[in-house]
Structure 1
């Protein structure tokens, strides 16, 4: 590792950190520290990872995943594909009710899927765009009819596209539903103070209420991982997400705390504005500059400095451990000569590039390392620390040059590409469009054969390696830490906190 990267890391670590004050917690309250304050609490519009933590306890889904990443029943007790793979029949459990007392039935499922698919404000459209119509067969049976076979559909229904809200409340509140969400999960919405806390209360009529052992959940956004840890050590928090990798060994050595890591499904990288504001900039117009950017980055140094070597470096939408990762596209080694040749190929000696970065310490450190690395080939990065919700809003509009965010990942590979990079997708920050890529992804979605899908995703990766709308850099673990008296946490690879079976020892 280059000495000046180590010096930069040491400088970044010198910032003074203080724990925030919070009221003492009752035994019936679980205090959870999140990396950011969530955006909306409407599954149709939510786009933040931290929002999914809250929604998991607030809104039940059609299906869920377990700690092995396998799809399991939730509101759908069972499901069956038709012989032509163009129909999916769901058999619902009959004992689920919404927080407003109305019944979770087939009509409610139909309403929610159509809302996610058709509402102007929905961000779920690309995730379930294969759906043609939804039929109510009887009160506990739903038939989903597809335009074409779509293997990723069940995986999509294990996330926000499958979260079910009360049709009564959604119709009454419209786009203001997020201010007082009504779902059918184990906890009900109680209070929200923006940039401070979200409070949920236990729902006594939940069908599995006996598996949820806290009367109240309090979620607090704390962008600095050191602040989250200090609040955990002081007892102001019981559980935190995304413990800094550099703190893992120290936390393991503390008998009052416990660490729960799990390998993630997603990626972190730099997204470039290709068709938005960046379309008028060299970095947005010229793939050779983006390739120079990629070649100038020392991915392993980033892993070593910021993540204590625990992040897996990469250059694709999937981590190297994923069966769809293509070894024919090796991770680029840092090559300044090759990067400079790419700049010459682009016809530029230097370019200026604004990089929007969330305010958490880890990504700020990553950004500063990137800034130092790419400067050596004439790419002058100006870092703009931006509160996450503001960043996401700006990114959705395409009003940025580049950003360092990432994607938490899904159990189906399609959902690591299509929502971000298909033409016209509402979550396509890059405003990138390649019709050849879209056709390849459609073919991969339609096949249930792993080898066929691998071949199609290899074609997709080849296009992304050439166009580089996203420069993929690393794949991190989800690392949870909690007080040692908290038991029963079983992290899943999507990194979402699930509280079934979690309790506090006396």
Structure 2
């Protein structure tokens, strides 16, 4: 063979080897990206704007709160360094020094005071912080909160992503419009909104609790369960919420694994108590007895849920699991329907475009037909669903509520207290002074026994008047790539990704 050719061939092989090595080294340095898919598009990334999981799941990655709840359910400081109740109505919070916002400005007391005062103006957070009278700045790293009345759940409330701390300067510069341009102190920085369909976050190298283990988080909204599952199977997404029926499919895939865990959430029907015929208590009881909840648990949730007796999940402080509930009893449902005097009415059952909820709504529709009640299912997209239910433009809607703070206050007060009718939370438009007094006592008492007693009695009133129909306590179900490491699910379904890794 020609020597010149041999030399050229050798040099070519050397070059290929060098290129291969360079490519390999580049590949090893490839950016770590985790793509997560939820079933709904978030409405806003402004923490205080909406109490809804699709938004707060992403907010959790961008912001921090003054406190957090540890794995034992105890309150521990997060942005706070320490706290002290100097009197029952005065809470002094000292802040950690050196914590930077994503614009490199240090977080100080003015940011905390500004954030809390802003929360007191927003419907979603006002209901949770009503006990606060005044927030004052003591020095750059100390704030004092003066209360109108004592508030047992306050520290738990200040651990929920709704009460995240904002940068005052940035928020004012944007005239408060931070829905698609959030700036926090959290483990990930906001990068792109993507019309809410594809939200991109970058790792915060200067995060005060340590740089995250991955470089980027991408949140994709994929409404259809089958499409979300397909994206997981093909590797387009690394983590996805999945329907209960899909758990076996995920578990049979050697590249994936599934997690199904109890949460602090309750699925329920809200009844418009100000609208005929839902203003009739006997008619509401007829609906309640007519629904075969266990059938929904078995067929829709594949056993990954349990029948609910009260709106307060059993994993939540103050839940009264001793109430009787309303077991499936068509004959008793017919008795109450006759007693109500209602006949010939057609009611509408509203649901967002969640396929699992739609399946549940179809079973409920069939159950009602069995006792002589005609109903229609009205399906709307998530944003419209929130708007119409807030305005009372519905008969019945199927929804869910997560107790983010694991305390009955965040369930019983916003959902049913008369002062929060409408968009603030009480979409049933329920009004009962005795009930109001009990949940107010539960909120203001600092004695656990008195709080439990108040919440127990409040749930007994709901058992009798049934403005809501608790359906089931569902598990959260997720499919994950086996490349994902360190994922620890949270009972409130708002997971933190600062310590999650990807191989």
Q: Secondary structure at the match of 2:300?
A: helix
- Larger mean CA deviation between 123-132 and 214-223 belongs to 214-223
Equivalent residues of 1:32, 1:218 under 8 A apart: yes
Q: Residues of 2 paired with 1:59 and 1:419: CA distance?
A: 24
2:236 matched residue in structure 1: 236
Distance change >3 Å, CA 260–CA 27, structure 1 → 2? farther
1:37 alignment partner, one of 33, 36, 41: 41
The residue that corresponds to 2:90 in the other structure is: 87
CA contact (8 A) 2:165 2:184 kept: yes
1:106 paired to 2:109: yes
Residues 1:78 and 2:82 aligned together: yes
What is the deviation of 1:349? 2.4
In the alignment, what sits opposite 1:7?
none
2:491 is matched with which residue?
Answer: 493
Structure 1 residue 52, shift from structure 2 partner? 0.9
Give 1:494 shift: 0.7
Structure 1 counterpart of 2:32, from 5, 8, 28: 28
CA separation of 1:67 and 1:364: change in aligned 2, threshold 3 A? farther
8 A Cα contact 1:66 1:492, kept in partner:
no
TM-score when scaled to structure 1? 0.89
Aligned partner of 1:415 in structure 2 is: 410
Aligned partners of 1:166 and 1:399: how far apart in 2?
37
Contact 2:264 2:314 in 1 (8 A): no
**Structure 2 residue 114 is the aligned partner of structure 1 residue 116:** no
> Aligned runs of 1:311-390 on 2, under 5 Å?
311-320=305-314, 322=316, 324-390=318-384
Equivalence for 2:471: 473
Q: Which residue of 2 aligns with 1:227?
A: 227
Instruction: Give the aligned partner of residue 12 of structure 2.
Output: none
Return the alpha-carbon distance in structure 1 between the equivalents of residues 50 and 216 of structure 2.
Answer: 22
Structure 1 residues 322 and 133, CA gap change in structure 2 (3 angstroms)? closer
State the match for 2:272 in structure 1.
273
Partner of 2:213: 213
Aligned counterpart, 1:183: 184
- Pair member with larger Rg: 2
| Per-residue deviation, 1:397 | 1.7
Shift of 1:321: 5.1
Residue of structure 1 equivalent to 2:62? 58
2: CA distance, partners of 1:485 / 1:193: 26
SS state of the match for residue 429, structure 1? coil
Conserved 8 A contact 1:60-1:185: yes
**What are the superposed Cα offsets for residues 94-153 of structure 1, whole Å, 9 maximum, x if unpaired?**
121222232211111111111000x2x442101010111112222222221111111111
**What SS does structure 2 have at the residue aligned with 1:282?**
coil
Q: SS at 1:127's partner residue?
A: coil
Deviations 1:474-504 (A, max 9, x none): 0111222210111011111111121121011
Cα displacement (A) at 1:27: 4.1
1:440-461 CA-to-partner distances (Å, cap 9, x unmatched) read 1111122233322121111111
**Distance of 2:441 and 2:246 partners within structure 1:** 44
Structure 1 contact 59–184 (Cα < 8 Å) conserved? yes
- Secondary structure at 1:190 match in 2: strand
Residue 124 of structure 2 aligns to a residue in which SS?
Answer: coil
Structure 1: gaps (5+ residues): 1-25
CA distance in 1, matches of 2:143, 2:380: 43
Aligned match of 2:453: 455
Give, in angstroms, the shift of residue 28 of structure 1. Answer: 2.1
Per the alignment, do residues 438 and 217 of structure 1 end up closer, same or farther by CA in structure 2, a change over 3 Å counting?
A: same
* C-alpha separation in 1, matches of 2:397 and 2:71: 31
Aligned mates of 2:224, 2:483 — CA distance in 1: 24
In the aligned structure 2, how far is the partner of 1:398 from the partner of 1:231?
Answer: 37
Counterpart in the other structure of 1:132: 133
List alignment gaps of at least 5 residues for structure 2: 1-29
Judge which range, 444-453 or 496-505, deviates more. Answer: 444-453
> Match of 2:193, SS?
strand
**CA contact under 8 A between 1:289 and 1:342: conserved in structure 2?**
yes
d(CA) in 2 for partners of 1:91 and 1:492?
Answer: 27
Q: Distance in 2 between matches of 1:310 and 1:334?
A: 19
State whether residues 95 and 142 of structure 2, in contact with CA within 8 Å, keep that contact through their aligned partners in structure 1: yes
Distance 1:264 1:200, change over 3 A: same
Query: What is the RMSD of the two structures over their aligned residues, measured on CA atoms?
Result: 1.8
With over 3 angstroms needed to count, the CA separation of the structure-2 counterparts of 1:496 and 1:280, relative to structure 1, is closer
Query: What is the alpha-carbon distance in structure 1 between the residues aligned to residue 368 and residue 266 of structure 2?
Result: 20
1:172 aligns with 2:176: no
Do the aligned partners of 2:83 and 2:91 also contact (CA within 8 Å) in 1?
yes
Secondary structure of 1:82's counterpart equals: strand
* 1:249-288 → structure 2 map (5 Å cutoff): 249-274=248-273, 279-283=274-278, 285-288=279-282
Tell whether the 8 Å contact from 1:34 to 1:240 is kept in structure 2 after alignment. Answer: yes
Change (3 A) 1:195 1:160: closer
